[in-house]
Amino acid sequence: MNKKLSIAIDGPAGAGKTTQAKALAKALGYVYVDTGAMYRALAVYMQDEELKDVPEILPEVNLQSTWDEKGNQRMSINGVDVTDRLRTPEISRLASDISAIPEVRDFLLETQREIARENNVVMEGRDIGTVILPDATLKVFLTASLDERAWRRSRQLEPGTYLLPSVKKDIERRDRNDSSRDAAPLAQAEDAILVDCTHMNIKETTQAVLRLWDEALARKAD
């Protein structure tokens, strides 16, 4: 079987996983997979339908990831494109809450593995190196200081709507949630390489990971 290549990027909220995964996928010509967007799309659906019990509705949910010509991932749920509604603090909170539910994780696990079986991928999330792709060609645990992550995240939000202290509190709560749950908590895989990008800009971080990628490929060829 022609085994596909994969980079797994895990790490806490606001570390730059999405930016890096996109840049790496573009540089390598791989498919960029944002698994958080899948949890977020489910959260939008829950909110719209005013649903409380997630496992109950999963059999009726048709979650679809597609990629536009620029490689950006779009999410639709039961035929409705929700991509532009995924990145609000409310949806971040709800996505983190529902991601602790084992049935939700099981529901998404196969979808995510299937994409990696069929494509070379740069996949980012919280449990990619530990659970989804235990045999990933390269595993990176991307992190940065809490202050830096809060600052980066606040700049992505609508100007003037969310103040830095509240963004920081949200991120802290989410990290706690994501790391302390029983089901596939956020954790660095034993064989993942820690990249702390607190003092690195976007380009420097991409280049650092590309160097790790070259090393991983050289190890694989040995």
By the rule CB under 6 A, 8 interacts with ligand DC:
no
By the rule CB under 6 A, 40 interacts with ligand DC:
yes
CB proximity list for 29: less than 8 A, separation 6 or greater? 120
β 6-10/121-125 pair status: parallel
Runs of H (alpha helix) within 13-67: 17-28, 35-48, 54-57
By the rule CB under 6 A, 170 interacts with ligand DC:
no
CA distances from 34 to 57, 85, 165, 215, 217 (A): 22, 15, 26, 24, 23
By the rule CB under 6 A, 127 interacts with ligand DC:
yes
Answer for which of 95, 115, 142, 197 binds ligand DC (CB under 6 A) is: 95
Q: How far apart are CA 126 and CA 180, in angstroms?
A: 12
Helix axes 102-118, 35-48, angle to 10 degrees: 140
Smallest gap from Cβ 109 to ligand DC, in A, equals: 9
**DSSP H or E stretch at residue 205:** helix 202-221
Question: SS3 for 25?
Answer: helix
Answer for which of 35, 130, 137, 143 binds ligand DC (CB under 6 A) is: 35
Smallest gap from Cβ 43 to ligand DC, in A, equals: 8
Answer for which of 125, 129, 130, 171 binds ligand DC (CB under 6 A) is: 125
By the rule CB under 6 A, 39 interacts with ligand DC:
yes
Residue corresponding to tokens 């999405």: 18
Site mask for ligand DC (CB under 6 A), range 74-93, x = bound: ------------------x-
29: left (phi over 0), alpha (psi -120 to 50) or beta: left
Residue among 5 and 9 whose Cβ is closer to ligand DC: 9
Q: Mark the segment that binds ligand DC (CB under 6 A) among 70-78, 95-103, 163-171, 214-222.
A: 95-103
By the rule CB under 6 A, 6 interacts with ligand DC:
no
Residue among 128 and 150 whose Cβ is closer to ligand DC: 128
CB proximity list for 156: less than 8 A, separation 6 or greater? 87
Smallest gap from Cβ 195 to ligand DC, in A, equals: 16
Q: Which residues bind ligand DC (CB under 6 A)?
A: 13, 35-36, 39-40, 92, 95-96, 99, 125-128, 174, 178
